[in-house]
Structure 1
Amino acid sequence: MLKNKQIGFIGGGAMAEALIRGILNAGLVVPSQILVSDVSVERLDYLRGTFTILTTTDSQETARQSDILFLTVKPQVINGVIDTIAPVVSKSTVLVTVAAGVTISTYQNKMPGVPIIRVMPNTPVAVGEGMSAMALGKYATTEVSKPVAQVFSSVGQVVTVSEDTMDAVTGLSGSGPAYAFVLIDALTDAGVRVGFSRQTAVLLAAQTLLGAAKMVLATGEHPAKLRDMVTSPGGTAITGVHILEQNGVRAALIDAVVAATNRSREMGRR
């Protein structure tokens, strides 16, 4: 699907690196099909040395040459990038943006007729277990989006959503790794409290959450059903779950997602 496609990245930070690694590991393209531009020569040297891809400091050159162009820069600089590349982006180029809070219309107004796809990935793309949500612009058909979905599938899982749910995506999966890290940290402290070394406690906690998540995805069962399989009558697990419910852990997680979603909406209105 990506055969003979030139893939460009404007911005060579952690997100671009994760996507490049996923693309190459999956064998979707060869290194010579990837061109990255960045303001940092040192960063470009690193990416070129690590992946043997093409690099340049000229973002317009990257935009001109790309069949699929990823904007992997921070939201605060995105307007300047759009202004720079808009005159040279072809209507046959698929533009993919991962800038949080920046709407498709922001790009479309400057680049009419260009297929725009807005994506919210999360940080586990760095280890190939990311969750990415795509919203398609007016000119981005399902067929056009397939190669982009293939790229993000190389670093995790992908869903297509309507753009009006992107703030909710940010609140749930975009911010979600932070909630998971808090849980792992708390479970680790608990493990230390009951006698384990911190190293052992981290392993027990992190692998337990990883295994539980894999069970949900692999079985397709409702999480509550899987919980019931663990909580035998009068046993240890139901005793622990009771304490979690008493302390409002479930409500706190729901409130966290709602608050993060609302914060994303506020940031998008700036």
Structure 2
Amino acid sequence: MGVRFLKKFVGLRLGVGLMLGATQANALTYTVNTANIGSAGSLNGTVHADATSTKSALTEDAAIGRILLTGTTSSGQSFSYDSFCVDLYDWLNAPATFTGDTLSSLGLSTTQNTQLTNLLANIDSYITTGSNSGVASSSTGSAAERSAAAQLAVWEIVAETTNVYSVDGTTSGKGSFYVSNVSNVDNISATSLADAAQLLSNVKSGYWTNSSGVQVALVRSTGNQTQVVYGANAANVLSAIPEPASWGMMVLGFGVLGTALRRTKRDFSHAIA
């Protein structure tokens, strides 16, 4: 009896150990204390998206530009991540706790994933200097106009449900996603619209690629706006997401634990009888 109990005890320890090993080593959360428009700035505009099978039509005033997320991870490390919104239907609120996720969880097509990754692989130098690498023309707009154009291009790739890539709400073939309220002061400018069109052309035509292998990841929070991060920041997020092998260990742990508990219950009932 003593030997059998020892085996069951070891089985219970093994099951719990496998589950804890799979979760504790990989689980990481991000407490975002501030979520503000980054140093490049932003412009304002009215964002429109047609209704889909799962979402209602959207008309929403928004600040449009790259966002800076700052906070502390569950391991105690401070972070400061540049990000773009990929969720039109929620607000971005802080403080809030976010978890990492892969780009594939958005359910985009392979083409959309490639275009978004290529866009983000080149976007920092574009916002900073206006450089359109591999394209003859370059932006003459301000950093805020370029930041807004970059966010519009991200939204267009993620949210457009037709084959029309245009963010300009004044055009007849504007597609299912577009922005309006154009002006030359604080609102979305004609320069931002032209730049967004150029960025989309860059990734659609293959002028912009991801030759340096820049990674892209998501940070999510229930009821909060999903953000996409890229580069070294994305690499940090992806490294903290449990890999399939870890999930396999967790499932194995549940199996070992369940088997041990069932045997314990059966032998206990025999002992009573």
What is the TM-score of this pair, normalised by structure 1?
A: 0.26
Larger Rg: 2
Structure (1/2) with the larger helix percentage = 1
Q: Which has the higher contact order (CA 8 A, sep 6+)?
A: 2
Higher strand proportion (structure 1 or 2): 2
- If the length of structure 2 is used for normalisation, what is the TM-score? 0.26
